Structure 1
Amino acid sequence: MNILIAAFLIGVVAGLRAISAPAAVSWATRLGLLSLGGTWLGWLGYQWTPWIFTVAALGEIINDKLPNTPSRKVPPQFITRVLTGALSGAAIGTAHAATVAGALLGAGGAVVGTLGGAEFRGRLVRAIGGKDLPIALLEDCITVGSAILIVRFLL
């Protein structure tokens, strides 16, 4: 698959769960699937970086289920998703000499993932009678599964 498509798709993942995309990219770098050594994003492959992102991603997944968690579309959450999408897309792009294109596509993917994910989740919740937890868990599975597929099979 084209590397720019992968950058866009990892951005979509960031739109669903902000920290899952950089966690996946960090693991891909650490495991040698993504070559960022000697670049400005080489720190993504440091020994503890993937673990730190993984703990943060798990915290985000738990936090998403809490009743007072704000919408992903409010400015702080939306901006965070766009930034982590841009970072993750830039990492994929940097490994293939397309940093700026990767960052822009990652950011664009994050916008699509944020707005599309919110709409998808809302429609499914309404379709099953207002129960959010099962749909939130489904979204978690889609997010994590997609992130793994993108970094493992599409790079």
Structure 2
Amino acid sequence: MTQVLALLLALLIGVIAGLRAMTAPAVVAWGAMLGWIDVADKWSEWVGHPITVTVLSILLVGELITDQLPKTPSRKVPPQFIARLITGGFAGAVIGSAFFHTFSATGAGIVGAVLGTLAGAELRSRLGAANNGNDRPGAFLEDGIAVGGGFLVAFLVSFI
């Protein structure tokens, strides 16, 4: 049962990576630092270090800002899509490492990233169309879902 729940949370953190690539690694770093994700004496222990948390948090804030710019490329172009797969897999692996299921959780994170990327693009497109082409409200909504949902997933790891 523990493995199934860990894989489900790894999948969900992958979905978060599909919405915002840097959110997933940043929130698992915070989760590790706060003790929600047990990384002690594991390969992923470095993720909870304050320097790692700081760097990933800065990258997250930078992404939230640049996402609002009109020249930001689609998340579905290869570099953007690949970045989401990598960060989703990484964040899933960190969650999985707490339960010694790194490899399967990496896969779950990658699958979640695909789902989050495609669903997020579709949601933002529909919200933009409903707002006469203005996708900024959808972007802010997606930011909130990604950050809030990411922290929720990291927090839920502590209950497994």
Q: Check whether TM > 0.5.
A: yes
After superposition, residues 74-93 of structure 1 pair within 5 angstroms as 74-93=77-96
After superposition, residues 1-150 of structure 1 pair within 5 angstroms as 2-150=5-153
1:94-132 superposed Cα distances (whole Å, 9 cap, x missing partner): 110111110000000000000110011101110121111
- The runs of 4+ residues in structure 1 deviating greater than 6 Å are none
CA distance in structure 2 between the partners assigned to 1:14 and 1:92 by the alignment: 13
Secondary structure (helix, strand or coil) at the match of 1:149 reads helix
CA distance in structure 1 between the partners assigned to 2:107 and 2:47 by the alignment: 19
CA distance in structure 2 between the partners assigned to 1:148 and 1:69 by the alignment: 25
The TM-score, its normalising length taken from structure 1, stands at: 0.96
Segments of 5+ residues of structure 1 without an aligned counterpart are none
1:73-112 superposed Cα distances (whole Å, 9 cap, x missing partner): 0111100000000000001111101111100000000000
Contact 2:36 2:157 in 1 (8 A): no
AA aligned opposite 1:25: V
Mark the CA change 1:40 to 1:68 in structure 2 (over 3 Å): closer, same or farther: same
CA distance in structure 2 between the partners assigned to 1:3 and 1:113 by the alignment: 18
Secondary structure (helix, strand or coil) at the match of 1:48 reads helix
Q: CA RMSD in A?
A: 1.1
